């Protein structure tokens, strides 16, 4: 299994999907084989789970149910898409992965980090990001950019979103080699920073 597994992380409204699209175009122009995925989602079943997880009418979901559904969506995505693409030596750009679970269900909801690490490892079957871009933005500004409480997670209180942001920054400082923290700025400058970092990474590792 030797493609390149790149993940994008960040709080609500951090601009991940715009940056992923721009990076995909850039890498494809350079002749790279790229697969873009999102979590939860990107398989038929994982997209079904995404709808359940983000539906505001499902506010009754227990914290543990929520955790297990995110992990179930991941288990299916890893098996159906991520492992096969890495075996074909593709570059996989994934919008969120295990770090999201550590911060949203761990720091955010207070679920046990050890349990999340154990179950996350179990469903990921050895697929671990080689490189992660963490797009950092203050919670309130991100929520404003995201356009208000449009899903079950976004409608959580500001204090929850602050825990998520701080959790991310903590993960960033614990894993400085893998996680590149990029402060929110305009689209073009953010993309330039991402391209510079990925070029450096490709030179060293491919």
Q: Summarize as ranges the residues that interact with ligand TMP (CB under 6 A).
A: 12, 38-40, 70, 95-96, 100-101, 104-105, 153
Which of 104, 168 has the CB closer to ligand TMP?
104
CA distance 86 to 103: 25
Which of 100, 132 has the CB closer to ligand TMP?
100
Burial of 205 by CB count in 10 Å (0-12 exposed, 13-18 middle, 19+ buried)?
exposed
CA distance 26 to 198: 11
Which of 81, 96 has the CB closer to ligand TMP?
96
Q: How far is the CB of 200 from ligand TMP (least distance, A)?
A: 27
Q: How far is the CB of 91 from ligand TMP (least distance, A)?
A: 20
Q: How far is the CB of 31 from ligand TMP (least distance, A)?
A: 28
CA distance 150 to 148: 6
Which of 3, 108 has the CB closer to ligand TMP?
108
CA distance 163 to 86: 33
Q: How far is the CB of 59 from ligand TMP (least distance, A)?
A: 14
Residue number with the shortest CB distance to ligand TMP? 104
Q: How far is the CB of 44 from ligand TMP (least distance, A)?
A: 17
Where do we find the tokens 């709808």? Answer: 51
Which of 38, 163 has the CB closer to ligand TMP?
38
CA distance 104 to 66: 10
Give SS3 for 199.
helix
Task: Measure Cα distances from 14 to 64, 116, 184 in Å.
Answer: 26, 24, 7
Q: How far is the CB of 179 from ligand TMP (least distance, A)?
A: 16
Phi/psi at 163 (5° precision): -65, -40
Which of 101, 191 has the CB closer to ligand TMP?
101
DSSP 8-state code for residue 56: G
């Amino acid at each position: 299994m030797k493609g390149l597994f790149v993940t994008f992380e960040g709080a609500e409204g951090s601009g991940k999907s715009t940056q992923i699209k721009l990076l995909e175009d850039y890498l494809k122009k350079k002749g790279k084989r790229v697969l873009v995925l999102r979590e939860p989602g990107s398989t038929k079943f994982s997209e079904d789970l995404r709808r359940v997880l983000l539906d505001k009418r499902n506010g009754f979901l227990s914290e543990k149910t929520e955790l297990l559904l995110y992990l179930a969506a991941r288990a299916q995505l890893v098996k159906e898409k991520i492992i096969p693409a890495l075996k074909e030596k593709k570059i996989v750009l994934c919008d969120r992965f295990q770090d999201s679970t550590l911060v949203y269900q761990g720091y955010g909801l207070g679920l046990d980090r050890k349990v999340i690490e154990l179950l996350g490892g179990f469903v990921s079957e050895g697929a671990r990001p080689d490189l992660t871009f963490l797009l950092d933005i203050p919670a309130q500004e991100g929520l404003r950019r995201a356009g208000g409480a449009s899903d079950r997670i976004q409608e959580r209180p500001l204090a929850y979103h602050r825990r998520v942001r701080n959790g991310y920054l903590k993960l960033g400082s614990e894993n400085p080699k893998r996680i590149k923290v990029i402060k929110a700025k305009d689209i073009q400058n953010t993309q330039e920073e991402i391209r510079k970092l990925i070029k450096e990474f490709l030179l060293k590792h491919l």
